[in-house]
Amino acid sequence: MIKIPRGTQDILPEDSKKWRYIENQLDELMTFYNYKEIRTPIFESTDLFARGVGDSTDVVQKEMYTFKDKGDRSITLRPEGTAAVVRSYIEHKMQGNPNQPIKLYYNGPMFRYERKQKGRYRQFKQFGVEAIGAENPSVDAEVLAMVMHIYQSFGLKHLKLVINSVGDIASRKEYNEALVKHFEPVIHEFCSDCQSRLHTNPMRILDCKVDRDKEAIKTAPRITDFLNEESKAYYEQVKAYLDDLGIPYIEDPNLVRGLDYYTHTAFELMMDNPNYDGAITTLCGGGRYNGLLELLDGPSETGIGFALSIERLLLALEEEGIELDIEENLDLFIVTMGDQADRYAVKLLNHLRHNGIKADKDYLQRKIKGQMKQADRLGAKFTIVIGDQELENNKIDVKNMTTGESETIELDALVEYFKK
């Protein structure tokens, strides 16, 4: 038997309705913030991610699904959404649009060769937003407010917003030099990944999961001490807006995020619920990227965005014991007696469905008792029984499956009955 590839999952009907509900809710929420959907290919030129995500990142070095196509071009299944959205922004010359910033959102499968663990898959569904074309602290605050709004709209309460400023390019350059000087004498004690990052992306050493408890990380210089006046002012304005909005946050000077393109504001939303052993889970992450467009041969414009995993959102809801209010039951199940009634039911079903009524029937020639059980299993709100007598008299009994009460109506008036 051929089985599903490791690190992937089948989303069966009972679960897919939860996905559909969440995605519909996210679509609706985006209209409140004036964000428009964008759809990009699931594969792109490998160079897009090498340049846009960063050669020194784990994503590019270890996790991408890359292959040569029949034209001998290097192609990669997208590991994240931002680079592709920015590529599309540049390619379609959206910078000329007067409606700046351009507010975009996406929702689609991403691919990373990661170690399988709870809530992480090698194919995963990512929802994200990008606001491109405005460097303004109020835009950063709006994006952070949106993050909180999304998770709170699903009833999640144990949320912790963690923020930091990674400064502008000049601040980062000075800070990276200080980190190299700090870690160089002890780098031999660190993992091989950290050793390779020392001269390529030393900030990522602070984010190491293997060596995070080492004294050198605890005593490392802090980015906040290297921010120039412009970066400090920007960060203070972002925090002031959050205070105005009443959004609580925690500052973490070691928060650097995993991708190279972040500048100024960086953030993560954590879930901290003491009821499950104080576990803290990263639900969402993002930040500002002021050099990414130029890095991809685009204009000198800025952007900010975030991405969240639908899988991890579902896991958070499960851990919090939150049930989604999903209504997908049938309006009507038709029970038939005899060939003539069964044939008529096919025509009736077509008529009902074209009038917006969710309906179904039995297809296995079950007896009446078996058909009624099937109606109950499908969660039908109402049932009708059609036989020769009902067809002859044009009368049917509509049974309410919740109350058990029945009402006799004309068969021809069935659509009107459900629309009243």
Instruction: Find the CATH number of the domain harbouring 80.
Output: 3.30.930.10
40 assigned to a ligand binding site: no
Query: What average pLDDT does range 66-80 have in this prediction?
Result: 97
Report residue 398 as tokens.
């509509």
C-alpha 61: how far from chain center: 24
CATH number at residue 414: 3.40.50.800
112 assigned to a ligand binding site: yes
- Is 209 among the domain residues? no
Q: Which helix (H) or strand (E) holds 102?
A: strand 102-111
289 assigned to a ligand binding site: no
List the alpha helices (DSSP H) in 185-291: 192-197, 215-218, 229-245
Identify which of 123, 155, 161, 132 has the alpha carbon closest to the alpha carbon of residue 239: 161
Query: What average pLDDT does range 176-181 have in this prediction?
Result: 91
pLDDT in tens, 212-245: 667 888 888 988 899 999 999 999 999 999 999 9
Question: Residue 125 has what pLDDT?
Answer: 97
Residue 332 scores a pLDDT above 80: yes
Reported as a pLDDT band with limits 50, 70 and 90, residue 276 is low
Phi, psi of 333 (to 5 degrees): -120, 130
Residue 105 scores a pLDDT above 70: yes
Report residue 59 as tokens.
């994503």
pLDDT in tens, 401-414: 999 999 999 999 99
Q: Which domain holds residue 388?
A: 332-419
Residue 291 scores a pLDDT above 90: no
Q: Which residues of 6-23 are buried (b: 16+ CB within 10 A; e: fewer)?
A: ebeeeeeeeeeebeebbe
- Is 213 among the domain residues? no
Higher-scoring residue by pLDDT: 318, 41 = 41
Residue 211 scores a pLDDT above 80: no
d(CA 65, CA 121): 13
126 assigned to a ligand binding site: yes
In the chain, the percentage of residues whose pLDDT exceeds 70 is 96
- Is 404 among the domain residues? yes
Number of compact structural domains in the chain: 2
Q: Which helix (H) or strand (E) holds 170?
A: helix 169-183
C-alpha 74: how far from chain center: 27
Reported as a pLDDT band with limits 50, 70 and 90, residue 274 is low
Q: Indicate the average pLDDT of the chain.
A: 92
d(CA 308, CA 263): 19
Among 270, 285, 320, the domain boundary falls at: 320
374 assigned to a ligand binding site: no
Query: What average pLDDT does range 167-180 have in this prediction?
Result: 89
Same domain as 350, residue 312: no
Same domain as 405, residue 256: no
Same domain as 128, residue 18: yes
